[in-house]
Every structure is written in C-alpha cells, then in structure tokens.
Amino acid sequence: MRKRASFLLKPLFFLTFGLLFLFTWDWAHAATHVGNVLVNVPQEATDGYGSFPIAGVSPRVIMWIVAELHLMFAAFVLAVPMFALIIEFIGYRSGDERYDRLAYEFTKLLSVSFSFTASLGALLTFALIILYPKLTTYLVSIFSWTFFPYVLLFFLEAVFLYSYYYGWGKVSPRTHLVLGLLLNLTGTAIMFIADAWLSFMNTPAGIDDAGHLVNLWDAVNNFTWMPINIHRLIANIAFGGSIAGAYGAYKFLGAKTDEERAHYDWMGYMGNFIAIIALLPLPFAGYYLGKEIYAFSQSLGITLMGGTFSWLFIVQAVLIGNLFLAANYYLWLGMERIPGADRYRKFIKYLLASITLCFLVWATPHSLVASVAEARKMGGAHHPMLGVLGVMSAKNTAVNILILTTYISFLLYRRGNKESVVPWAKTGNLIQFLIFAVAISIVIFLGIYGYFVEASVRIGLSVPQVLSVLFTMISVTVIDVFMFKGAKIKGPIQWGKMPNRAQYALFFIAITFAWTMGLMGYVRAGMRQHWHVYGVLEDTSPDAFTPAFGFAANVISLTVLIFFSFIAIVFWITGLSSKRAWKPKPGPPTDGDDAAPVPEPVSSVKPALEEAGS
Amino acid sequence: MKNALKIFGFTFVVVAFYSYVGHWVPQKETYPPKTLEIRADLTTDEMVEIGQQIVAGKGTCLGCHTIGSEGGALRFPDLAGVGARAKSREEGHTDIDYLSEALYEPNAFIVPGFQPGMPTINKPPIGLTDQEILTVIAYLESLGGTPTVTMDTKLKWQGQTPAAPTPAAAPGAKMDGPTIVQTYLCVTCHNFADASHTVGPSLYDVGDRLTKAQLYEAVMDPDATIAKGFPAGVMPATLGASGFYDKISTQNLKTLVEYLASLKGH
C-alpha cells in the first residue's frame, strides 16, 4: 500500500507543476486584459516601454515576480549572517560548541542563496533595462553615483561571505567574528543603498519641479528611506529566521538518528525564536513607515490605508494573526518536551482564547460586503456591533494584546523546567503580574478612549499603547533573568521529542512570512498607482492600472511557490555536504576482482574536513 | 523524496488558501484618471458640470473632503455651502480669490480646526490644468452660491501649468451608462463594485432587484419609494444640485436605465 502511494506521488508532483505552469500562463495572459477587452500590447519598445519576447505575457507581471524573488532571496542572505554572527558570538563567549555548530549550519545555507540572489539581481536589472527603459533611464539620471559604491560593496560582501564560510575553524575565532561583522556591515550598507532607489519611487525628494536632480543626499534621504531601512532590517531577520527554522524542520523530518533529530529540533526552535522575536517590534516599525508616508503626502497615505488598498490590510491581519497563532502553537507543543512545563499547560487555553479574540478583532473590516437584504437588516454597511471593531482604536488594542500574549507564551516556555531559588521570587512574580495588569489596562483604556476623541488625538494614543507594551516586555524580561539566575532545573529539555506537526507549523510560518512579504511588496508598489515615481514620472504603459486584489494574490502565490522551489534546491545542495561519499555499486564478480582497488572519491574528504572544522 | 513532496503539497495548500482569501475581499481595478477635454467657450453651467466630474475623479477631492455628509467633515472641511462661505472666509478676498488660493496654495490659509496637508492641485500627482481648476472653482461656487467664474477669468497663478487641449465634448452629448453615473456623481453615494453600501444603497445588483419601470421611477422620483434604512430627500437634492433633472437628455436617461438594469451583481 505504501509502495503504491509512493508510486502515485511522482505523477501527482509533475501534474501539480503542469497545472502551475498552465495557471501561470493564464494569469500572465490575463494581465494584458482590461475588463473583458483585450488590450493590444505593443510588440516593439515604444514610449519608454519594452515588450516581453513571448507575445501576450505582461511585462509588469514578469518584473513583479523577478523583483519579488530577488527581494526574498536578498532578505534571506542579509538576515542569516546577522543571527549566525550573534549565535557564533554566544558560542564563543559561553564556550558551548553547539552554538558554533548551529551558526555554521545556518551559514551553509548562504553560499548557494548568495548565487541565487546575484543571479536574480542581474535578471532584475536586465528586465528593467529591456522592459522599462524610461524608468531605468530616469533612475540612472538620479542615482548613477550610488551604483559604484553598490557594486564595490557587493564585491566586498562576496569576499567577506566566502571567507566567513570557508574560514570557519580555519582562522582564529576573533578574526572569524570580525569577518562576520564586516559581512553584516557590507550587507546592511548594500540594502540601505537599494532602499534609497525604491523609497525614492514612492516619496521622491532632492529634485526640482521638472524632476531633475538637485541634491543627491536629499534624494537618498527621502521621507521613507530610514523607515524602510529599519522596517526591512527587522523584517529580514524575521523572514530569514523563519526560513532557517523551515530548514531545521526539513532536516528534522528526514533525520535518521535521535542525535540528528535533537540537533535539528533545536535549529528549528532557534530559527522560529529569531523570527518571532523580530516579528514583535515589526508592527511598530510599520507604524513609523506609515507615519512618514502620511507626512510626505496625505493623498498617498489615504490611498494606502483608506482607499484602494484598505481591504489589503484585512488580509494582512489574517496573515499576521496566523503567524502569531502558529508561533504560539509551536511553543505550546515545544513545552511538551520540557520536564516541569506541564505546570503551565492550564494557561494555554486562556492564551489561545486571547489570541483568537485579538485575531478576530484585527481581521474585522470596517465596512462589510453584504447583500442588500443583509445591509438593510444591519442598517447600513457597518454592522451595529462588529462595525465598532473595524476601526483603528480596536485594531491597535488587539495587536498590542496579541504581542503581549505571545510574549507570555515565551515567558512560560522559558520558565518550563526552571524553578527560581531567589528569596524574592514571590515578590518578583507579583511585580511582573502587576506590570502586565497595568500595561493591559492602559492598552484597553486608551483603545476605548480613542472612540471618544478626534482622529488627530486618537492617532497619538497608539504611542503610549506601544510604549507600555515595550516597557512591559523589557522590564519583565529583566526581572525574569535575575529571578531565574542559578535556578533549579527540573530536567534538561528533551530536544528531538517533538511531533512532526510542529515541523509543519514551522513551514507554515515560513510560507506565511513569504506571502506577507509579497503582499507588502504589492502595496508598496501599488500605492503609487499610475506613477513610476510618485508625482514625477507617470506610468503610461498599458499596465498603468492597479490590478484587482485577487489577481495580485495569484501573482504573490505563484512567486511564493517559485521561491520555495528555489529554496528547496538550496536546501538540497546544502544537504549534499553532509551526505556520505558516493561509491559505485559493487558489480558482479569478474576476473578482475584481484585488480588494483578503486581510489576513494575526492568528495568524501569534504565531510571529514567539515567534521574537523566544526 | 516523500517528505519533500509532502512539504511541497503543504506549501501549495497554504498559498492556495491565501489566494482564496485574496479573492474573497472586494475586487476592484483602479485606472489612471482620464484627462477631460475642456473647450474655451464653456458656459458657466457647463463649467459647473465638468468641475463636478473633476472633483469626484481626477482631482481626488472626495478622498478627504465630504459634501454635506451627515457624519461631518472627514479629514478636511466639508464642502457643502463653501460657495457662500468663500466670500467672507478671508478678509479682502472674493470667493474666486479664496477658492483659487485654496487650490493653488492650499496651505496659505488653514481653516481653523484642521491640519495642513492638502496637496497643491496644479502640480503632480494630481496636476490639474488651469482650465480644469477654473471649472472646479465654478463647481465650488455653486455649492451654496452662484458661480461667477468664467473660462476667461484670470488668476495670478495661471501659466504655471500647461494648458489643456480644447477639442469639444459638450455636456449633454450622448454618453454611455458608466459615463453618466460618473458625470452626475451617482458613484459618490452608490457603490457599483460590490454589495456594500455607502451613503445610498449599493447598485451592484440593482438590475436583479428592480424592473426598468421601477428604475425609471427611482431616478426621476427618488422619494417615491425609499430603500429601508436610507434617508429620504438626499437623492432628489443631490441630483437636483448637480443639474441632472435640467440637463439629462431622453437618450441619456434611457441609456442610464438600460445600464442600471444590466447590473446583475456579476
């Protein structure tokens, strides 16, 4: 029966890919249709636009997919060195070799990913030159001088990345840490330069009324440059952590021994930990970005939040809610492998209730899609009760409580096998409880108060809400660290004793992160509407319209599937290094049995070296 | 291999679910605003009509301003009655002075209680031409006042933006259904994209609910039958103010009813 199932899997796999190809083809064709009327896509490059060599395929969809794939790989390649370096540093300071091994395992993913990122970057550049020459020419006229440091830094990044990877165990730990630091600095600088180009497209600055460059630094340091830098830096870590966690999950599922399972369970946990820790401050960075967009242009802000894209943020709420739900679920499953953590199991139902409630509030739209009869019963487009939850006051409150709930899950997980031995433990717990109680009260009070004040005051209320949550997380963590210093351990964490469904939670988190990234890419470009550079360079191509959200969702899904197909290749290639050396199958005995022995293949030397190196 | 296939299947199901969510929300394609062709010899009434279209369309004014909203002002002042207020808003300014300053230099004078933030209307991304701005002023004057601006009115800011080409498209000329509902601002109160309601009931599937005779009555005598949950008097007043009843031709009325009857909610 198992054999038959296995026999069916391959045809199913190819059938799925075949269907995917057909859907892609159909979507790409659909992009050239406006309503039911076929638009004549120019076959020759005219008016600053080129056509895709395959007739009928929209240049915009091609650009969209290539740009998003490049961004996803770039995010991963920039993020992994950050947490690899931190983990390596922890291992260096603590002397625990497990951390060093883990950091190396993360770094192994970089080598192939870096090549993918560079190839996709080249593809993106060629696509821009061929399909959007008008835009490319304009951006070159503004940013040409930034291209030189970009290329130089890219070259340096390659040097530092490969010396960091190949130098593992070959140079002194301090030198190696410095290499890692330099790798991170160059990677971050590259991102900052690229962010200048894309943020300029949304919030141009440093140019005169005719669009000519006046001041390069002003063009770089436009309204959304620094918010985008900060948002991306944090989001990259979250995204990279989730992909690294997915790698741990993938290896866990294929592990043959308990030792392997324990290692990859730990790797999956660490990846997820990094992802969620970075996710917590992300809404605040997003808020800063949104604020700067409004500061640049209220029209742009309104298009983003209150106009064409208002429904997009409901979908984003679904995605972020799913992320929190899956992350908490993974933590709760993880508590089963911690001796003594069953003390806290009784709290899970309350945490789940809190998360579900916050998720529902966050995903409640302001106006509802309803039939005429339903709308009449409701007395309008807003539901008499649920409509109240669709406004910003309720959503800000929900997201803050959601973050606090997830933080409580972490706290319980962290405490799982520990018992505090300090004499002030009871007082410490009480203080922590009071901090939580006060913070939650502030968040809820300000949320309700927001209904009774003007919009300008209401917007300002989110700041004390956020600050009280941040204060809670920092102060409670500090108390916890001291309270559990030298704590009595009920038993070691039994790494590897994790159900397979926990690994699928990690995949789910990685996929959801990737989809969210695709969604945000769509809104970042889409909010410019029919402008390449907002208010400066108009999009006059047949694709100047903003597509319906369903179409965008299909393109995002397709991009995510392609990305994970590429990531599967990265995982496979990375995994080859730990495989045993290939040996020819012994043939039938011949007269040559007494011939000279076949020499050991060179490839078998590499794993041995790696073992020594790690 | 088996694990890889399972993971791929799982990935496929998750992204398919998110695609489904993407299709579940209201679907709308947004197109770049069309540039209206404005003749140099427009009458004041024609200017009001075109100005009204620009306010609801290319000018994107209604993203921030309301016109006689029951809920009060949105982000920027409510424009109902602005034609009367404009005469006395700033000392020494006529209504044309005040309105033109509000469009060309929107942050020169901020109405008490509101924040600055309105974009300059004759510059991108909105980028109205001088001629388009004259028609907008005519429309704004008509809200509670009598339009006095003409296409020959000279404003000190003129010449900073390129003049619009002038081939004619006279108001009242033969139009198709979507153009009529845009021209007479039906779209500002009625939703045509989905079943959710705004100021008035959604017309997304009105062809399924009303016969042509009922549609004709709903347009020409809106208060004869009021949709439950919606106030009486709003539509006759709004349509009356837009000049609909004076200007709609028999041919365009027929086209409008045919168009509404074709809206079946698909």
Least confident of A33-37, A299-303, A343-347, A471-475: A33-37
* CATH code for the domain of B81: 1.10.760.10
Nearby residues of B76 by Cβ (< 8 Å), 6 or more positions away:
B64, B65, B111, B114, B117, B118
Nearest CA in chain A to B76: A298
Q: How confident is the model at residue A8 (pLDDT cuts 50, 70, 90)?
A: low
Q: How confident is the model at residue B169 (pLDDT cuts 50, 70, 90)?
A: very low
User: What's the rounded mean pLDDT across residues A600-614?
Assistant: 41
User: What's the rounded mean pLDDT across residues B244-253?
Assistant: 72
Tell me, yes or no, whether B85 lies in a domain: yes
- Distance set, CA B155 to CA B97, B106, B126, B158, B160 (Å): 8, 15, 19, 6, 11
Q: What is residue B66's predicted lDDT score, i.e. its pLDDT?
A: 81
Q: What is residue B204's predicted lDDT score, i.e. its pLDDT?
A: 86
Tell me, yes or no, whether B116 lies in a domain: yes
Between CA A25 and CA A554 the distance in angstroms is 12
SS3 A546: strand
Q: How confident is the model at residue A15 (pLDDT cuts 50, 70, 90)?
A: low
Between CA A204 and CA A535 the distance in angstroms is 8
Residue with the larger pLDDT of the pair A241 and B228 = A241
Mean model confidence pLDDT for chain A: 85
Between CA A168 and CA A104 the distance in angstroms is 7
Contact between B83 and B143 under an 8 Å Cβ cutoff? The reply is: yes
Give the up-direction half-sphere exposure of residue B169: CA atoms within 13 A in the CB hemisphere. 11
Q: What is residue A525's predicted lDDT score, i.e. its pLDDT?
A: 92
pTM of the entire predicted model: 0.76
Contact between B117 and A298 under an 8 Å Cβ cutoff? The reply is: yes
Q: How confident is the model at residue A92 (pLDDT cuts 50, 70, 90)?
A: very high
Q: What is residue A121's predicted lDDT score, i.e. its pLDDT?
A: 95
User: What's the rounded mean pLDDT across residues A146-174?
Assistant: 94
Least confident of A219-233, A368-382, A426-440, B151-165: A368-382
Show the tokens assigned to A367.
Answer: 């106006």
B:216-235 residues touching chain A, CB 8 A cutoff? 227-229
Nearest by CB to residue A368, choosing from B60, B118, B196, is: B196
Q: Give the residue carrying structure tokens 């998720």.
A: A359
Residue A506: closest CA among A229, A252, A181? A252
Q: Is B114 on the interface with A (CB under 8 A)?
A: no
User: What's the rounded mean pLDDT across residues A211-217?
Assistant: 92
Q: How confident is the model at residue B246 (pLDDT cuts 50, 70, 90)?
A: low
Q: How many domains does chain B have?
A: 2
Residue with the larger pLDDT of the pair A453 and A549 = A549
User: What's the rounded mean pLDDT across residues B34-54?
Assistant: 87
Nearest by CB to residue A371, choosing from B117, B195, B198, is: B195
Between CA A326 and CA A332 the distance in angstroms is 10
Between CA A240 and CA A39 the distance in angstroms is 40
Tell me, yes or no, whether A516 lies in a domain: no
Q: How confident is the model at residue A178 (pLDDT cuts 50, 70, 90)?
A: very high
Tell me, yes or no, whether B59 lies in a domain: yes
Q: What percent of chain A has pLDDT over 70?
A: 83
User: What's the rounded mean pLDDT across residues A514-519?
Assistant: 96
Q: How confident is the model at residue B170 (pLDDT cuts 50, 70, 90)?
A: very low
Tell me, yes or no, whether B181 lies in a domain: yes
Q: What is residue A427's predicted lDDT score, i.e. its pLDDT?
A: 95
Tell me, yes or no, whether B114 lies in a domain: yes
On the question of pLDDT at B240 being above 80, the answer is no
Tell me, yes or no, whether A237 lies in a domain: yes
Q: What is residue A602's predicted lDDT score, i.e. its pLDDT?
A: 42
Tell me, yes or no, whether A527 lies in a domain: no
Nearby residues of A196 by Cβ (< 8 Å), 6 or more positions away:
A143, A146, A219, A220, A221, A222, A225
Q: Are residues B122 and B187 in the same domain?
A: no
User: What's the rounded mean pLDDT across residues A487-504?
Assistant: 93
Q: What is residue A609's predicted lDDT score, i.e. its pLDDT?
A: 40
SS3 B61: helix
Residue B216: closest CA among B172, B252, B164, B173? B252
Q: Is B4 on the interface with A (CB under 8 A)?
A: yes
Q: What is residue A600's predicted lDDT score, i.e. its pLDDT?
A: 46
Q: Is B18 on the interface with A (CB under 8 A)?
A: yes
Q: Are residues B118 and B186 in the same domain?
A: no
SS3 A33: strand
Long-range contacts, B10-15 (Cβ 8 Å, 24+):
B10/A504, B10/A507, B10/A508, B11/A507, B11/A511, B11/A560, B11/A561, B11/A564, B12/A16, B12/A561, B14/A507, B14/A508, B14/A511, B14/A512, B14/A515, B15/A511, B15/A515, B15/A557, B15/A560, B15/A561
Residues of B in contact with A301 (CB under 8 A): none
Q: What is the residue-wise DSSP string for A119-136?
A: HHHHHHHHHHHHH-HHHH
Contact between A203 and A297 under an 8 Å Cβ cutoff? The reply is: yes
Type of residue numbered B246: D
Between CA A433 and CA A481 the distance in angstroms is 15
SS3 A602: helix
Provide the domain limits for residue B249. 177-261
Q: What percent of chain B has pLDDT over 70?
A: 89
Between CA A78 and CA A69 the distance in angstroms is 14
Contact between A541 and B27 under an 8 Å Cβ cutoff? The reply is: no
Q: How many domains does chain A have?
A: 1
Tell me, yes or no, whether A560 lies in a domain: yes
Q: Is B34 on the interface with A (CB under 8 A)?
A: no
Q: What is residue A138's predicted lDDT score, i.e. its pLDDT?
A: 95
Top-ranked range on mean pLDDT: pick from A367-376, B37-46, B141-150: B141-150
Show the tokens assigned to A97.
Answer: 């070799």
CA angle B65, B68, B71 (to 5 degrees): 80
Q: Are residues B207 and B253 in the same domain?
A: yes
On the question of pLDDT at A122 being above 90, the answer is yes
Between CA B104 and CA A456 the distance in angstroms is 25
Nearest CA in chain A to B61: A299
On the question of pLDDT at A18 being above 70, the answer is no
Q: How confident is the model at residue A38 (pLDDT cuts 50, 70, 90)?
A: very low
Q: How confident is the model at residue B69 (pLDDT cuts 50, 70, 90)?
A: low
Whether the ω angle into residue A423 lies within 30 degrees of 0, i.e. cis, is: no
Q: Are residues B133 and B189 in the same domain?
A: no
Q: How confident is the model at residue B24 (pLDDT cuts 50, 70, 90)?
A: confident
On the question of pLDDT at A234 being above 90, the answer is yes
E strand map for B15-59: none
User: What's the rounded mean pLDDT across residues A224-245?
Assistant: 94
Q: What is residue B119's predicted lDDT score, i.e. its pLDDT?
A: 84
Q: What percent of chain A has pLDDT over 90?
A: 59
Encode pLDDT of B119-148 as tens digits.
888 888 888 989 999 999 999 999 998 999
Encode pLDDT of A277-287 as tens digits.
898 888 888 88
CB contact under 8 A, B32 and A16: no
Nearest CA in chain B to A15: B9
Least confident of A165-169, A331-335, A568-572, B210-214: B210-214
Q: Give the residue carrying structure tokens 């006529």.
A: B94
Residue with the larger pLDDT of the pair A226 and A598 = A226
Q: What is residue B168's predicted lDDT score, i.e. its pLDDT?
A: 31
- Distance set, CA A148 to CA A143, A144, A188, A228, A472 (Å): 10, 8, 16, 22, 45
Residues of B in contact with A6 (CB under 8 A): 2
Q: What is residue A45's predicted lDDT score, i.e. its pLDDT?
A: 44
Rounded to two decimals, the ipTM of the complex is 0.82
Between CA B117 and CA B102 the distance in angstroms is 12
Q: Is B77 on the interface with A (CB under 8 A)?
A: no
Tell me, yes or no, whether A78 lies in a domain: yes
Encode pLDDT of A400-434 as tens digits.
999 999 999 999 999 999 999 999 999 999 999 99
Residue with the larger pLDDT of the pair B84 and B181 = B84
Q: What is residue A9's predicted lDDT score, i.e. its pLDDT?
A: 52
Encode pLDDT of B188-213 as tens digits.
778 887 777 777 888 888 888 888 88
Residues of A in contact with B202 (CB under 8 A): 372, 375
Q: Give the residue carrying structure tokens 């011949």.
A: A590
Residues of A in contact with B119 (CB under 8 A): 297-299
Residue with the larger pLDDT of the pair A94 and A9 = A94
Tell me, yes or no, whether A56 lies in a domain: yes
Beta strand A418-419 pairing with A488-489? antiparallel
Q: How many CB pairs under 8 A join A and B?
A: 168
DSSP 3-state helix, strand, coil percentages of chain A (rounded to 5)?
A: 75, 5, 25
Mean model confidence pLDDT for chain B: 81
B:155-214 residues touching chain A, CB 8 A cutoff? 194-198, 201-202, 205, 209
Q: Are residues B188 and B249 in the same domain?
A: yes
Q: What is residue A19's predicted lDDT score, i.e. its pLDDT?
A: 59
Rg (CA), chain A: 27
Tell me, yes or no, whether A365 lies in a domain: no
Q: What percent of chain B has pLDDT over 90?
A: 21
Contact between A261 and A251 under an 8 Å Cβ cutoff? The reply is: no
Residue A204: closest CA among A532, A539, A534? A534
- Name A537's bridge partners: A533
Q: What is residue A311's predicted lDDT score, i.e. its pLDDT?
A: 80
Contact between A271 and A513 under an 8 Å Cβ cutoff? The reply is: no
Nearest CA in chain A to B23: A550
Between CA A12 and CA A69 the distance in angstroms is 26
On the question of pLDDT at B30 being above 90, the answer is no
Type of residue numbered A526: G
User: What's the rounded mean pLDDT across residues A208-229?
Assistant: 93
Nearby residues of A532 by Cβ (< 8 Å), 6 or more positions away:
A132, A134, A135, A138, A201, A538, A539
DSSP state of A592: G
Q: Give the residue carrying structure tokens 């919606």.
A: B230
User: What's the rounded mean pLDDT across residues A49-71?
Assistant: 90
Least confident of A98-112, A221-235, A385-399, B153-167: B153-167
Tell me, yes or no, whether A276 lies in a domain: yes
Provide the domain limits for residue A564. 47-300+549-577
Q: Are residues B138 and B199 in the same domain?
A: no
